[in-house]
Structure 1
C-alpha cells in the first residue's frame, strides 16, 4: 500500500507591507524610519504599519501618531494609499501562482499556498522553494516576504508568526513532531486565534504557554467554550485537515459597511444622513453581487473609549436589497435604541444572504419602482463614478459619501 504523501503548505507573509510598498515607491526613504498612518487632521492618526527601522525605535502598530513621534521624532509619516497596496498584493499573488494554482488569500499581505503537487517542478525541498519565491517577490516588488512551512495551514501559520518572522532569512519549516521544541514554550497569547480576552481566561485557568493549552484535556475546553475550545486545542497541537482553496472566501455570509466619523455627530438629522449614505453603499454592493439579505444590522458607537456608549441591534425582515427599504428599517432600529449620546461610528450590514432573482411581491408597496430607481443610480455610478449621482443629503455638512468615494477601506486610495 502506498504511503500518503505529506502535504507542503506555506503561509507567505509580507514584512511591514504598507510601509514596504511606500519605501519601494520612494527610495529616498530607504534608510529612514517610516510609518503609514491615518490622517491626523481627522483624528485618525493611528499607525497602520511601521518599517523595521521604526520598530527598532519602539514604534508599534495601532498606537497613536503622537506616541510614535515621542519615541522617534525623525519619523517619516506617509498617508496610506490603499489602491497601491491592493495592486502590489495582486502582483505578489500572481508571482506565487507561477509555482502553484492553490493560493488562498488570508489577508492583503498573507497567503496560504500548497505546493504538494508542484514542488518537484521547481525545487528539491520546501526550504529551497520558499527561498526561490522569496527572491522572486523581492526582485519584482522590493517587498521582503517571510514563509512558514508545515504540513497544514495551522502549522504554516504558527510557524510563520512565531519563528519565520523572527529569524534573519525569514524561512522556516516546522514539523508537527517539533511543536514541543519550537512552539510549546511560547506564551499562549502569541498563538494564532488567541485574543486578549481569551488569553486572560486561559491565564486564570493556569494555562500560560501554548504547551499548557496543548496538554489541557479537550473535554475541559469543549465544556467551557464549545467548538471554539476545540479549535484552540487543535491549533496548539498542529491539527488541521482544511484544504488550501481558492474558493474559501467566495461564499459571503454578510455584506456590511461602516465608518468612523470625522467628529461627534450629536443630532438625529446628522446621523440619519450618514445612515442613508452607508445603506446606499451596502445595498449597491448587494445588488452588484445579485444578493439580498433578510437580517438587517445596525452598530452605533460613541467616541469615549473609557465610557463606551452605543449598541448593536439586528432584525429579521423580508429579503431585500432596496436602499430606501433598508434605510427605513435601520432608522427604526436607531430610534428604538439610541441613548441620545454623541455618535462617532456607524455600521450597517445585510446578513442571511440569498439570490435576489426571486422575491415576494406586495400589493401595498411598489418594490418595482424602488428597484428601478436603484438600478438607474447604480448604472450611472458604474459608468461615471461613485459621486456622479448622489442624494441631496449627501452634500450637506454631515454627508460622507464624497469623502468615502476617494477611499478604500476607510483610507485614501
Structure 2
C-alpha cells in the first residue's frame, strides 16, 4: 500500500530580524527591525521581531511611522548576503531529513518527508526535530505546517502553526470541512483583498462556499463577473479551497533556465530629463546583458517598463519589441531600449524603470554581419565581466554612472536592492 504523502512548509519567524538577533544576543529582549536606508527613499520596514510587532509595527510601513510607535526600536540595516548564507545553512538542515526540499522564498521551504518516517519517526516528531535543530544551529525559530500537499501545508503553517505556542500544526484531508472551510475567504491562499471583495459580492464569504460550489457553476459565475478568460482562475481557487494539489516537492524547480532575464530599479527621486533617464537605462541594460552573458544566452525581444511616483494617479507603460537579431551586447540592447522608451514615454516624471530580455537562445550561435562590431564588443565585455566577477561590479563602470543620475555605484554594494 502506498504511504500517505506528508509535506511540510517550514517558515522562519521574522527571518531578517531573527538573523540579526541571533548575531547580536545582547539585543534578545529589545524590539528590533530591519529597514532600508531612509536617506535613499528606502526607509521601509523589511522585518520586525515579535517584540516590535507587539508595539504595532508592521512590515512595509515607513521607518518614520515605526519610530513614532516605538521610539526605542533598534534599527538594523539589511545584510542580504548574510541572510542568504543563513538561508542556505537552514536548507542544508532540512536536507538532512529529506532529499526533497524545495525553496519557496528565502525564509520558506517545502519538505516532503513521506519516505523519511522510517528513519526519523512520525510527521510531528520530524517537525519537532527540524525545529530543534534549526534553533540550535542558527538561533532561528521555525514554524511548520504539516499536511498531504503543498497548498494545504502552506495554509496549515500560515493559518495555525504561526499562531500557536508550538509553532506546529497538522492539517489532514479529513479536517478540511471542519477546520478550513468555516474560515473567511480572505484566509484562503492566493485570495488577496480585491479577490476577497469579489468573492463576497458573489455570495461566497467563506472558504467553504468556494469549495462547495460546483466547478462548472463557479466558472459560470466568474465568467459573468470577469469575462470568458476567468476559467483558469476559477479552477485554481476551486482546487485551493478543496485542498487539491498534486504538484511534487521539486528540489531543482528554481534551477531551470529562465524564460526572461530582467532588472528593475526604484529611483531615489523623480527623474524628469531624458538624459538622466538614459543613464539608468544604460545601467539596467548592462546588468541584464551581464547576467545573460554569464548564463550563455542572448535575447531576441527587449522589454522596457516605466512608472511614476504618484500611486493615486498612476502613469507608466511596459512595452516590448523584437530586435533584428538576438544579442547580449550592452550597446545593442541599450540602443533598442532607448528607442522603445522614447516611443512610449509621455514626458511624465519617472520613479521606477525596468529592462528585460526574453526569447532567449544560445549565446554562442548567432548571425555574423559585416556591418557591426559585435565581436569587438563581445571581447571587451568578456574582459570587463571577468574583472567584475573577481573584484565586484564597482571595479569598472561607465563614466555616466559617476554623475548625479547614476545609481551603479550604490547598487554595486547591494543584493536585491539591499546592502550586503
Q: TM-score, normalised on structure 1?
A: 0.96
Q: Name 2:226's counterpart in structure 1.
A: none
Matched, 1:68 2:73: no
Distance in structure 2 (CA, Å) of the matches to 1:303 and 1:145: 37
In the TM superposition, residue 14 of structure 1 has moved relative to its aligned partner by: 0.2
2:336 aligned with 1:329: yes
Matched-pair contact (CA < 8 Å) for 1:162–1:183: no
The secondary structure found in structure 2 opposite 1:263 is: strand
Task: Name the CA distance, whole Å, in 1 between partners of 2:313 and 2:97.
Answer: 51
- Point out where structure 2 has 5 or more consecutive residues left out of the alignment: 224-229
Q: CA deviation at 1:234?
A: 0.7
Corresponding residue for residue 265 of structure 1? 271
Kindly report which structure 2 residues correspond to 1:1-400, keeping only aligned pairs within 5 A, or say none: 3-123=1-121, 125-223=122-220, 224=223, 225-251=230-256, 252-317=258-323, 318-400=325-407
* Contact 1:303 1:342 (8 Å CA) reproduced: yes
Match of 1:410 in 2: 417
Give the secondary structure class of the aligned counterpart of 1:387: helix
Higher mean alpha-carbon deviation, 202-211 vs 10-19, is at 202-211
Q: String of CA shifts for 1:374-408, please: whole Å, max 9, x gaps.
A: 21211121122211111111111111111101000
Q: Separation in 2 of the partners of 1:65 and 1:298?
A: 31
| Cα shift readout 1:220-272 (whole Å, capped 9, x = no counterpart) | 44453222221121111111111111121122122111111111111101110
CA-atom RMSD in angstroms = 1.4
Whole-angstrom distance in 2 between the partners of 1:349 and 1:189: 34
* Shift, 1:15, TM fit: 0.3
Q: Partners of 1:192 and 1:289 in 2: how far apart?
A: 34
Give aligned pairs, total: 410
Shift of 1:67: 1.9
The CA distance in 2 between the partners of 1:44 and 1:164, in whole Å, is: 32
* SS of structure 1 residue aligned to 2:346: coil
CA offset digits 1:81-133 (Å, max 9, x no partner): 1111101100000111111111100000000011111221111x100110000
Structure 1 portions without partners, runs of 5+: none
User: In 1, Cα distance between the equivalents of 2:218 and 2:340?
Assistant: 37
Structure 1 CA distance, aligned partners of 2:108 and 2:168?
14
Normalised to the residue count of structure 2, the TM-score between the two structures is 0.94
Which stretch shows the higher mean deviation, 9-18 or 357-366?
357-366
1:134-166 CA-to-partner distances (Å, cap 9, x unmatched) read 000000011000000111111111111111111
